[in-house]
Structure formats: C-alpha cells, structure tokens
Structure 1
Amino acid sequence: MCVVLTNDAEHVAMLDRCPHRDVALSGGIVKEGTLVCPGHFWRFDLPTGERTELPDRGATVYPTRVVDGWVEALLPPLQPHQSMREWLLAQAREGGPAVSEAAAESPEIGESVSVDGILTNYHDLGSGEPVVLIHGSGPGVSAWANWRLTLPALAESFRVIAPDVLGFGYTERPPGARYDLSTWTDHLVGFLDALGLDRVSLVGNSFGGALALSLATRHPERVERLVLMGSVGVSFPITAGLDKVWGFEPSLANMRALLDVFAHDHTLVNDDVARLRLAAATRPGVQEAYAAMFPAPQQARVDAMALDEDLVRSIGHPTLLVHGREDRVIPLTTSLRLHELIDDSRLHVFDRCGHWVQIEHATAFNRLLADFLGSCG
C-alpha cells in the first residue's frame, strides 16, 4: 500500500501497484490532483482512483483516515494474482492470440497526436524545460522499451517527451511510406510542431542520434542542447553487430543472439526477454516496415545516415557524447570523431558497457544526463 498526500493536504491510501501489477505507484509523480504511474505513465484521479484517459481501468483506493498522526486504511484481504508480466510471458511461450490482444494495454502505448495525418504514439511526463528522447533502431524497439528507465528519472526535473519514430513502435505506418533520414527528420519536426514545442533539448540513441544531428543542423533554432549516445551520424565500416541488427530475420534464436550483442552484461538478457522482444518485432506490419528501412547492403544504410562533416562542424549547441567502451553495434570511434567535429562537446565513456548505456548504467547515465541538461545555459 502507498499513501499519497494531495495538494489539499488530504491523505489517499491506495494499492501500491499499477493495474499492470509490476510497477509500484509509490514511485510516481503527484501533480494537479493526479498520480502518474512511473512505469506506464497512466494518470489516476486521486480521490477515485479512476484512470483519467481510460476510466474503466482504475487503481484501487481504500477508505482512509488519520488517527493520532497515523494514516489508517481499511484493507481487504489481498488475493493472489498473476502479474501482467507473467501472463504476457505465458502467452508468448504458448504462442496464443492473447499476446496481440494484450497490446491494447501495453505500457508502450502512451498518448497520441496527429503529425501530418500520421497518428504518432508518444510518452509525456514531468514539467519544466522540454527534453525529447529519440530511440534507436533495434527490431521491436519503441520509445518506452528504449527509455523506460530514463523517463521517470528525468521527469523529476524536466518535461520529458519520447515519441515512437515513424515506422517504429505504435506510431502509424502509412502504406508506401518512405523511410530515410529526411523523412524521419520531417516527422520529428512535425511532431514538435504538433505539440507546440518551439525549442527543445534532444537526446538521441544510436539511430536516434543521427536524427538528432539532422534536426540540429537543419533547424538549429529548434534545439537547445544535444546528447548523442552510441550515435550514428558519421560514416564508419559497418560492424558485425549492426549488420545483425539491421539484417534481423525473426526467430527466437536470432533475437536472443541479438540481445547478447546489445548488452555487455549478459545477465540482463534471457530467453523470456527475447520472447517479449520478438513478439514486439513481429506484430502485424512491424517486420515488413523494418525490412523496408534497412535493406541490404547495410553499409549503404550507414552511409545514408551519415551527415556531411562540415554540417556537423557547424553545430554550436552544447553537446554531450556518451558511449559504451565495449559497444559491439556502434564503434566508439564514431563518438570520438563527433567529439573532434563539434567544438562545444564533451565525451563520457562508460567501461564494462555495451550498446545499452541507458540500461546497463541507468543510474549513472540518468545523473549525467540531468546534470548536463540542467547546467548548460
């Protein structure tokens, strides 16, 4: 159970679990009479527990009173339950149809906005100076999957917005869509326009780093600060790891092998994680769009995502470069080169770290990010 003190100094006691069951609501943020789940970012009305954007899925609120300075709540006997994660894993193992049905309640689904007619899925949490997180390009990726450990941490100090890039996650994939750096950049600019965001800081991961660089060079007036993590954006000989990522053929064995490439710490991945990621990568239309984004030869895709180095040199925004020393997907040399090209830049290299800096070193990464975004003027 968790106890929330409202703006009106009233105590609200509630079950310390989101309806998804795997996230503690006590880690959420209270604002304007609502509690925001720290993992799924659902908003709950505090007096009733109703989920404000979907009232039939509410949090459990108990009758509460204060006696001699202690908060008391009338708690019914708790019944054992199967967590949402356990249920999804069971469905993935069985290959049942309920996996797709569960997508409607997926934590990867946030809010939506139309960007030039394309319904775009995004997460929006916290308040303050706006920071936009741009995810990478692994199969089955989404903004939530990429930034789930970063969003709640940054939201303590900033307004943090993480969209599913065109063609990824739960953003619409229009028939015949063209996927290239220019199209993705235009979609991001349209997304900023749709949310009324004139100027933001950008955090780009891998493929998302190239999009951040593209936006910063094409529309420098829209960017405040720049963070590039394991970033694409300059040309380099394709690694065996990136070749596996962009050339992914759906199978559990291939997904498990790919996760081992992403993470230096292999204890972070197992067959259950691979099953969940494979299910995300094989939702209807997802793999088809993914194959259209990165057709062979993969080296040509690397070169297509590289910006002219004179453009990169023109970047005047304060820039933080972050890389994992053991990254097998994007070589450390790319961040070293970007550091040479961008005059106002600093570079932080994490040891014992692969391509998942934001997951393998989440606490240190979040602190580094918050300090940089909060200190640059």
Structure 2
Amino acid sequence: MTTPTDLPTMQETTYDVDGKKIFVAETGDGPPVVMLHGGGPGASGVSNYVRNIARLAERYRVIVPDMPGYGRSSKGVDGADPFGYLSGLIRGLLDELGLEKVHLVGNSYGGACALRLALDAPHRVDRMLLMGPAGAGTTRAVPTRGMKSLLSYYTGDGPSRLKLETFIRNYLVFNAASVPDSAIEDRYQASIDPEVIASPPAKLPSGPGALRTLWKSDFTRDPRLSRLSVPTLVLWGAEDKVNRPSGARMLADRMPNCDLYLVANTGHWVQFERADLFNRICSDFLAGHR
C-alpha cells in the first residue's frame, strides 16, 4: 500500500482565481485529473490523496488543489450556496491552468463540488469519479453521527485534538488503526489555523436562508441530474458513517451514465482505506475501461 513516503516530487503553485488564492500541487504527465478533497477539519489536497497520487501519476497529470477554505488556499466559503461557490472557483482554476476539459475525482465535500461543476458546466468534465459525495439526499434525514461530529468541531468548547481523533477514528474510517497518529496531529495543527477558526468552511447553514441552502445542496432534487451524460463512477464505503451509503443508489438511479461500486468493510475514506483497490479502479475507469 502506498504510504506518505512514496509521494513523488510535486510542483507547487498558488493561483489567483476571482480574488482568491488557490494552492495547487501537481505531478505526472498525461490526461489531466483534478482531485478534490473532503471537508473534514484540517483536510488538504495532498493529505487526502497521499496514498493515490504516485500511482495515478504513472498515467495522468495529477492536479491536487487545496479546496477554498482549507490548507494553503484562501479561507472563507459562501454559506448561501457553498457547492456553487466551490464549483465556480475550481472552474476558474481550470481557466488559469489553461485546461478546457478534465477528469474529476472528488471525495465527500470535494465530490459535491465535482458534481456541481459537472451540472453547471458538463462540457468541462470528461469523466468523473465520486467517493461518498455530499449532497446525495442528505437533507432528507437527520444528519449522521459522523456528520454531526464534523459540523460540531468548531462549536461548543472549540477544536481539540481529542475531538478530531474521535471524528477520524470513530467515523471517517472503518479500521481506526489504519490512520497513523502523525496524520491526526498534522490535521489537528491545520485545523487550528486562526483564519479557519474565524471562518470554518463546513458548517450547518442557519438563519432565514437555511432551508434554501439545504435545498441547493441536495443534488437529487436537481432536474439536471437526470440529463447529466458525463460518464460517472460512484465508489461508496458500505460502512460510511458520515454520508449514508443509500446516497449511492440515489445517484445511480437518477444519473443516466453512472456505475456504482459499494466497497465492503470500508468507511468514508475509500481512497485511503482501500488504496490499492481505488488506484486500480480509478486509473482504469479514467482510461475508459468500465
């Protein structure tokens, strides 16, 4: 299994997109693949895909941004339409990179961004692979315990290493021992950046526009979904405690060109827990082998 020490040398660049700074690490040659990370506390692009980048870079140009609100990118996210805001900035990043069309890989929060981008601008997306994406019917039931843990990280008594470790080991993965202590410590340090604490990127909407925001964030209510012809593969951990696995069937039932793979004994972080399986399936799917 790929480990952090297997990461190749990556070119690091910060782009100005509509007045926001978007940090990008990239490596490899071939068709461009943009990998969008999840929204847990302390997340970042490279840390999210640390077990996948080297393998995919054997066949692809792998482009890994820090999502707006995270890592070395500008902080703050438009809470009225977060996925639309993220999608717009990532589309602007593609313009800055001079890329008309790319493959998209998105995990959780990043999966929701990828799906929104494909709905808004399908001509910019070649193939799309989603892992436990947010927005797949999540507004129709009480949030999972994992989602509550994520969204409450900055509330109450504020962030702590214990709260983060509880979220990662109890909810993010199926096998708690698969996540090294060093990864938790790195994410904790990133999560207490004063700019992030001042404006947490992932939080429940509130106020008079909250219901409208939740509605916009549920892709299964979007009529464009049934017309989206972008070849899509959804990978979902059967033991996902953050986004319910039932969301996988909701997407597959509505999207006309969507394959579904439910991964046994796996939580929300498929690309990390089942890296060898993910790397093989992802590489082949993006090459057109279904």
Equivalence for 1:127: 29
1:303 and 1:244, CA in 2 relative to 1: closer, same or farther beyond 3 A? Answer: farther
Equivalence for 2:164: 255
Report deviation, 1:303. Answer: 4.3
Report deviation, 1:376. Answer: 5.3
1:150 and 1:315, CA in 2 relative to 1: closer, same or farther beyond 3 A? Answer: same
Structure 1 residue runs of 5 or longer lacking an equivalent are 1-21, 28-37, 43-109
Separation in structure 2 between the aligned mates of residue 132 and residue 336 of structure 1, nearest angstrom: 25
1:271 and 1:159, CA in 2 relative to 1: closer, same or farther beyond 3 A? Answer: closer
Structure 2 residue runs of 5 or longer lacking an equivalent are none
Report deviation, 1:243. Answer: 1.3
Separation in structure 2 between the aligned mates of residue 229 and residue 276 of structure 1, nearest angstrom: 23
1:251 and 1:303, CA in 2 relative to 1: closer, same or farther beyond 3 A? Answer: farther
Separation in structure 1 between the aligned mates of residue 58 and residue 199 of structure 2, nearest angstrom: 35
State which of 217, 221, 239 in structure 1 corresponds to 2:144: 239
Query: Whose helix fraction is larger, Structure 1's or Structure 2's?
Result: 2
Alignment of 1:130-279 (within 5 A): 130-173=32-75, 178-179=78-79, 180-236=82-138, 237=141, 238-249=143-154, 250-260=159-169, 261-269=171-179, 271-279=181-189
Separation in structure 1 between the aligned mates of residue 225 and residue 40 of structure 2, nearest angstrom: 25
- Report SS of the residue matched to 1:285: helix
Separation in structure 2 between the aligned mates of residue 39 and residue 258 of structure 1, nearest angstrom: 29
Report deviation, 1:295. Answer: 3.7
Equivalence for 1:41: 10
Report deviation, 1:213. Answer: 1.0
1:247–1:296: 8 Å Cα contact kept in structure 2?
no
Separation in structure 1 between the aligned mates of residue 286 and residue 109 of structure 2, nearest angstrom: 21
Separation in structure 1 between the aligned mates of residue 189 and residue 24 of structure 2, nearest angstrom: 20
Normalised TM-score (structure 2): 0.87
Alignment of 1:55-134 (within 5 A): 110-134=12-36
2:8–2:27: 8 Å Cα contact kept in structure 1?
no
Percent identity, please.
31
State which of 256, 264, 276 in structure 2 corresponds to 1:343: 256
Larger Rg: 1
Separation in structure 2 between the aligned mates of residue 153 and residue 316 of structure 1, nearest angstrom: 28
1:131 and 1:272, CA in 2 relative to 1: closer, same or farther beyond 3 A? Answer: closer
- Report SS of the residue matched to 2:199: helix
- Report SS of the residue matched to 2:135: coil
Report deviation, 1:269. Answer: 3.2
Report deviation, 1:227. Answer: 0.7
1:293 and 1:348, CA in 2 relative to 1: closer, same or farther beyond 3 A? Answer: closer
Equivalence for 1:358: 271
Separation in structure 2 between the aligned mates of residue 153 and residue 284 of structure 1, nearest angstrom: 34
- Report SS of the residue matched to 1:202: strand
Q: Which amino acid aligns with 2:92?
A: G
Separation in structure 1 between the aligned mates of residue 265 and residue 42 of structure 2, nearest angstrom: 25
Separation in structure 1 between the aligned mates of residue 189 and residue 244 of structure 2, nearest angstrom: 28
Q: How many residues align?
A: 273
1:233 and 1:154, CA in 2 relative to 1: closer, same or farther beyond 3 A? Answer: same
2:36–2:110: 8 Å Cα contact kept in structure 1?
yes
Equivalence for 2:193: 283
Q: Which amino acid aligns with 2:254?
A: L
Question: 2:196 matched to 1:294?
Answer: no
2:237–2:269: 8 Å Cα contact kept in structure 1?
yes
Separation in structure 1 between the aligned mates of residue 9 and residue 184 of structure 2, nearest angstrom: 21
Which has the bigger relative contact order, CA under 8 A and spacing at least 6?
Answer: 2
1:318–1:376: 8 Å Cα contact kept in structure 2?
no
Worse-matched range after superposition: 253-262 or 191-200: 253-262
Q: Residue by residue, what CA displacement relative to the aligned partner does 1:199-224 show, whole Å, maximum 9, x if unpaired? A: 01111111111111111111011111
